[in-house]
Structure 1
Amino acid sequence: MYRFFILYAKPWLGVEEYLPTDASQAGDSEVYAINYGTRRMQLIQSIEDLQYFLKDSLYSRPPFGLSRE
């Protein structure tokens, strides 16, 4: 099971949170930042990790057809 968030202005970037399937493992989730265009994924452990990933991904080109401009 997971939750996800996709940036409206940059729909090729997202954050996915994978929650444990076993209820006894409460609090053990994994969060990944994902560039769906390049299929690059990075484990996120802090807000700084997320900011670095997003800053790095903003300079890469979006996949064909996903630009909102």
Structure 2
Amino acid sequence: MGIGTPGIILLVILALLLFGPNKLPELGRAVGRTFREFKNGARDIMEDSAPQKSESKKIDNSQNELENKRLPE
């Protein structure tokens, strides 16, 4: 159910008619930069959330160790 070859050809012809051959490379670069920035931002968010998860596990483990080390009453 994706876009086939005829659909891609139609989109290219439509883009040429709307923007002209001189503006099309600039538009492509802008779209590429936008996707690259989005991907980098998503990667940064994923990397930021990973250390928080591991730190919370470390805190849970240290609390469990402290509870296990208590002297019996």
TM-score, normalising length: structure 1: 0.26
**Higher alpha-carbon Rg:** 2
Q: Indicate the structure with greater strand content.
A: 1
Q: Comparing both structures, which one devotes a greater share of its residues to helix?
A: 2
If asked which structure has higher relative contact order (CA below 8 Å, sep 6+), I would say 1
